Amino acid sequence: MNFHELNAVDIHGQPYDMAALKGHKVLVVNTASECGFTPQYKQLEELYEKYKDKGFVILGFPSNDFGKQEPGDEKTIAAFCEKNYGVTFPLMSKIETKGDGQSPVYAWLTEKKLNGVLDSKVKWNFQKYLIDEQGHLVTMYPSAQEPLSDAIINWVEGK
């Protein structure tokens, strides 16, 4: 299965078809408004602003899975991200990254039998997954990996 075969719902309740991302590099991140890593929104937005016109997209998936650090509804989350960090990259509806209610996107990201590359567990908020232009999983970075790190920038730039 390919990432471009998946679908989600954006934070405004509209369908979001991953097929629209063919030809784009994608960073998928699970987010939370009350986490120690929440300030990463600033770097995520900087990264998105710098590369959005060069075939790069960030998809934020709010989740309350870790420490109950995303208690708000979609409207509250969207307002928080816009007011505090000026977020313009696409945010999806709140999802579960693990367990029985795991979203299909996160099932694909975390299961090698689906993504063909690696098995991983989402261990905390702001874990990052990189997907190439053809919809293949490239790698995963832990929460502490800053969005503006050399590793992520070099990948986005094709170095």
Q: pLDDT digits over 146-155, tens only?
A: 999 999 999 9
User: Mean pLDDT, the chain, as a whole number?
Assistant: 98
Active-site residue, 81 included: no
Q: The domain containing residue 11 runs over which residues? A: 3-157
Q: Can you give the pLDDT at residue 58?
A: 99
**Which amino acid appears at position 113 of this protein?**
K
Mean of the pLDDT values across residues 50-59? 98
Q: Report the percent of the chain where pLDDT is more than 70.
A: 100
Tens-digit pLDDT profile for residues 102-136: 999 999 999 999 999 999 999 999 999 999 999 99
Q: What local confidence, expressed as pLDDT, does residue 89 receive?
A: 99
Total tally of structural domains belonging to the chain: 1
CATH code at 151?
A: 3.40.30.10
- Which whole number is the average pLDDT over 46-75? 97
Average pLDDT over residues 74-82: 97
Which pLDDT does position 22 carry in this prediction?
Answer: 98
CB contact burial 14-30 (16+ within 10 A = b; e otherwise): eebebeebeebbbbbbb
Catalytic residue among 21, 35, 92, 152: 35
